[in-house]
């Protein structure tokens, strides 16, 4: 789960749910993230039940069951593996899953983990309402591009049809400003507030966010930017590649 910065109004429970549901990058061998595979498995297990349940009430109860499943991962802490999960479902979430999910909920679906313009377009065509550029903090697969390096490509491919968000390696207010300049509607952070939490609990997490907000404000003042909704792309320049 990330914490959002920027003018987007989509930083809500909806996004939180969507983020965990549409998580095509999560793999069963990521031992640090047991919750997301449990959601995927719940999708499969609940799908059949949903099919037998008609109407909006059925859809809503299905989603709440998914939320509940976040608290009880189908992952064995004792054996530290996903053998059980592997045996009962396919963890690959495809564009077809996105299309299917759009038929059972009115909630906006956000595709998280998008790292190319091509995938962004596929996600939009599958019914996603926003694109979340992320490498999941670079914690899953090495040899992938950083999220900031592909942001422009994704924004260009999306071409104004949806909001684009970004996370991954955002550590300073200038990082936030750069992402907004390159077209992100909102910027998220993952580990920084967790580190603050580890050091000083809720106060520590709040402090990290306050530091980021103050740094963003200062960076805007020193750059002559008065509105987070109007950050010029020209703020970002690229060093010549040798
Ligand atoms: C402990 C931990 C668990 C995470 N679990 C998930 C997850 O289940 N699903 C997901 O999409 N991203 C997950 N992430 C990635 C974050 O949502 C986010 O994309 C990433 O942390 C942002 O990068 P940053 O930590 O550099 O700010 C996790 C990150 C951490 C640190």
What are the extents of the domains in the chain? 9-190
What's the 137 CA to ligand 1 centre distance in angstroms?
Answer: 6
Residue predicted with more confidence, 71 or 221? 221
In this predicted structure, what is the pLDDT of residue 160? 98
Q: Which residues line ligand 1 (CB under 6 A)?
A: 1-2, 19, 23, 26, 32-33, 35-36, 112, 134, 136-137, 139, 167-170, 189-191
d(CA 38, CA 71): 9
Residue predicted with more confidence, 222 or 82? 222
- Is the complex ipTM more than 0.95? yes
What's the 241 CA to ligand 1 centre distance in angstroms?
Answer: 30
Q: Which fold has domain 9-190?
A: TIM Barrel (3.20.20)
Q: Which residues are catalytic?
A: 136
Mean pLDDT of the chain: 74
Strongest mean pLDDT among 36-40, 45-49, 135-139, 176-180: 176-180
Does this model's pTM top 0.80?
Answer: no
Residue 40 half-sphere exposure toward CB, CA atoms < 13 A: 25
Q: What mean pLDDT is predicted for residues 47-70?
A: 50
In this predicted structure, what is the pLDDT of residue 192? 96
- To the nearest 10 degrees (0 to 180), the angle between helices 95-104 and 117-125 is 30
């Amino acid at each position: 789960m990330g914490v959002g910065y920027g003018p987007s109004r989509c930083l809500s429970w909806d996004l939180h749910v969507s983020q965990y549901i549409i998580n095509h990058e999560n793999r069963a061998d990521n031992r640090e993230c047991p919750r997301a595979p449990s959601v995927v498995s719940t999708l499969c297990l609940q799908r059949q039940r949903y099919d037998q349940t008609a109407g909006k009430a059925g859809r809503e109860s299905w989603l709440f069951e998914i939320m509940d499943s976040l608290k009880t991962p189908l992952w064995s802490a004792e054996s530290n593996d996903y053998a059980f999960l592997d045996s009962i479902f396919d963890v690959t979430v495809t564009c077809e899953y996105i299309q299917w999910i759009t038929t059972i909920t009115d909630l906006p679906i956000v595709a998280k983990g998008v790292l190319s313009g091509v995938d962004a377009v596929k996600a939009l065509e599958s019914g996603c309402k926003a694109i979340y550029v992320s490498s999941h903090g670079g914690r899953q697969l090495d040899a992938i591009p950083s999220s900031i390096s592909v942001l422009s490509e994704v924004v260009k491919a999306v071409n104004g049809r949806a909001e684009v968000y970004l996370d991954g390696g955002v550590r300073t207010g200038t990082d936030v400003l750069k992402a907004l300049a390159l077209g992100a509607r909102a910027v998220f952070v993952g580990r920084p507030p967790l580190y603050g939490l580890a050091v000083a609990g809720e106060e520590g997490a709040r402090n990290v966010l306050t530091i980021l907000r103050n740094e963003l404000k200062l960076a805007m003042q020193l750059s002559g930017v008065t509105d987070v909704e109007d950050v010029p792309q020209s703020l970002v320049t690229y060093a010549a590649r040798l």
